Amino acid sequence: MLKIWTEVIVLNDGDLEEYEMLSWGLKEELLGQGVDDLEYDSNSAPGGSKGLGDAALILGWAVSSGALRAFVHILESWLARQPAAGIKVEIGEDCLIIDKATGADKKAILDDWVTRHSGS
């Protein structure tokens, strides 16, 4: 299982309430999709994390390499509906921040990131 950390980035100088709403909305969306081999991990944020906000809103996930594409597809769908949000995704030392990229660019960036971690 891969350990993945996600953190929402509010792009329009939103307040803490907006940040929390987006973060928990992402969590509910990921959990609600019924992806096999995806588990929410409520342990604390990764050591040495340079979080962009409140560490309590850095969400931890355990994902099998086979479910990684489904996980990222959910992130893509969520980002497409959240024009004022970006996302920080981290596996080990590999940190990816997607914020102001276009839809096609976001897809290409995420596809490359998945390939690096899934071996496909």
pTM of the model: 0.78
All domains of the chain, ordered by start, with CATH? 2-118 (3.30.70)
Task: Count CA within 13 A, CB hemisphere, residue 62.
Answer: 7
Residue 51's CB is within 10 A of a number of other CB atoms, namely 15
pLDDT digits over 66-118, tens only? 888 888 888 888 888 888 888 888 988 898 888 777 777 877 888 888 888 88
pLDDT digits over 43-59, tens only? 655 555 544 444 447 88
103 touches 16 (CB < 8 A)? no
pLDDT confidence of residue 13: 73
C-alpha–C-alpha distance, residues 86 and 23, integer Å: 11
